[in-house]
Structure 1
């Protein structure tokens, strides 16, 4: 099969194909990655440049430089931009984390959302309005937003974004929400937003899974149940780790980074063996078969990174490992998994 085939072209009548861009790629300093982005992707998400610690470092100071470059790049090349993310408990600047009264935090949230979403009004296709607000047990995360503002801060965040960016699609984004416990909690959350008369257009299922066991039945059930709420389903941060998990359960909490790098936890520093390459390909093939089955309900599939060398999974949950979770390798070449994904559409 010709290497020239393009993901965005193959799936152009099904769903958007997206990728996450880091700062070098946004500045177009990574020319090899830039070629892949233009060839294969029609949606982009910034890895970090729109997060509060980068973009809103002081109470009255915003730094739009990098995110403006991202938006200009997307608009120049007719690539849809997903803003990531407005309200998240992590990567908050110190002045926010140290707040201790509700009025100040409410003012921060209002200023942050109205300034950011307003700055990109008409330019950003969609926003991850609230990110990772649920705990593993389905309760609301004990974030500073919950502690100071109470349960309704999520509704308020969507309301503020709707006012500031009336033409943008508004999403809730989280990990492990394909699983039963968090799925039920996410459904309840969406229904609560809808009942308040506030718009929510979609939900982002992050898709940080292990190639050795992708939870296909849970994913299918989540597509059915989320779409039944009248919203789009997105898979927003897709990557499939091939390395052994040091945990006894799935962990995607970015604060959990305390384990040593050993040959047992980093078994393939110099290349992925054929049997793991085949496992990765089969898992991506199975996933995209499922995505195509529900293409009328899915708005976007976004890979969390352009190529393996960029992936956050090289450093999470153990720093310095060599992971291989994406469709393009460290030399920017398509892997067998790429061709497996393409082939799902040709069958």
Structure 2
């Protein structure tokens, strides 16, 4: 069967062969400004010194900024009552400099939360009452500090199993099945105007999407509106199918739930396990050269595959633009990406729109020049 050569395929190949993509006349956010916000995650090293310049990629290309780690509990409150806002303050300053909105990530998560949060001085689990006080103080202090400056918060992160049931975490074990209700209520108290989100990975799986819809409904019954469900989009050239992503978007839309595409990146590297998928940070595999084939750069064939998949994804996001509020990339350049170290440390992945030198790739061309 002959392969159809599309105009996009030709232009993308020319971009790859030339070594760089022709820059769009405007940043990505400007291209999609009539449809949804387009954001990026800012790594901690960019928030510890001088702010990135106003013409840097985060400012010139995006209109929504998320701290990759700087607002997580272990960084904000590493010890009881000891708050460290230095990096978070820098994020706010960067967003003001860039004219971008800030997305706060994240208030309640079972990962990257210090053990002291759940324990007393003897290392035993604290009571429900004590943990509720700690959660309220943390949320009120953090959200209250940035009231009116943070557009929306990932209030609860990754609370569901793959079958849509609630994860067994210290939050649930100590507070009970309504632990997430308290987090949303405290966030709403601290900043009534901020948008509130639930965020999770593998949100292309029907059972997990159904669990998220149930969670949102239960929050609604408690008088708390969830402004959007974040579909973490840690994808690969090998999974998931576009049809699965679209079906999940349909399910959320039909349930009256708005959508944020969060943490978007597309790994190009082979997987150590055919059944592997998702973004559970506890997963880890041994390194082997066969799983790291593009150390010297991404070949033209894979460049084209990545560009074509990004084009297809953004076409899908545009199709559901009436329900999609935001698309956020998890990192700005390939050098920034956590995919270089997960689920195998020390690999050379190429999952984003800009290469390790900050140059636009064929994928950038695909979503800025070919959006019809």
TM range (shorter): over 0.9
2:338 aligns with one of 304, 312, 316: 312
Residues 1:212 and 2:238 aligned together: yes
Contact kept in structure 2, 1:289 and 1:344, CA below 8 Å: no
Q: For the structure 1 residues 319 and 49, does the alpha-carbon distance in structure 2 shift closer, same or farther, using more than 3 Å as the test? A: same
Preserved CA contact (<8 Å) 1:37 1:306? yes
User: Of residues 38, 42, 64 in structure 2, which corresponds to 1:21?
Assistant: 42
Matching residue of 2:358 = 332
Length-normalised TM-score, structure 1: 0.95
Contact 1:25 1:34 in 2 (8 A): no
Separation (CA, whole Å) in 2 of partners of 1:31 and 1:168: 26
Counterpart position of 1:11 = 32
Q: 1 CA distance for matches of 2:202 and 2:136? A: 29
Q: Secondary structure at the match of 1:240?
A: strand
Higher Rg of the two aligned structures? 2
Query: Match of 2:347?
Result: 321
SS in 2 for 1:154: helix
CA distance in structure 2 between the partners assigned to 1:112 and 1:166 by the alignment: 16
Give the structure 1 partner of residue 56 of structure 2: 35
Matched residue SS, 1:281: helix
Q: CA deviation at 1:312?
A: 0.2
3-state secondary structure, aligned to 2:290: coil
Which one of 237, 254, 260 corresponds to residue 281 of structure 2? 254
Residue number in structure 2 paired with 1:191: 217
- 1:20-49 Cα offsets, whole Å, 9 max, x none, are 001222346585896111110000000000
- Paired with 1:251 and 1:79, the residues of 2 have a C-alpha distance of 29
**Inter-CA distance 77–169: structure 2 relative to 1 (3 Å threshold):** same
Return the offset for 1:96.
1.4
How many Å apart are 1:91 and its aligned residue? 0.3
Asked if 1:302 corresponds to 2:323, the answer is no
Q: Which residue of 1 aligns with 2:15?
A: none
TM-aligned CA deviation for residue 73 of structure 1 = 1.5
Distance 1:177 1:33, change over 3 A: farther
2:289 to 263, 275, 282: 263
Q: Distance in 2 between matches of 1:245 and 1:182?
A: 23
Report the alpha carbon displacement of residue 135 of structure 1 after superposing the two structures with TM: 1.2
Contact 1:28 1:34 in 2 (8 A): no
Q: Secondary structure at the match of 2:56?
A: helix
RMSD: 1.6
Normalising by structure 2, we get a TM-score of: 0.89
After TM superposition, the structure 1 stretch with the greater mean CA deviation from structure 2, 110-119 or 90-99, is: 90-99
Aligned residues: 345
Q: 1:275 Cα shift?
A: 1.2
TM superposition shift of 1:249: 2.5
CA contact (8 A) 2:295 2:348 kept: yes
Runs of 5+ consecutive residues of structure 1 not aligned to the other structure = none
- Counterpart CA distance in 2 for 1:95 and 1:262 is 37
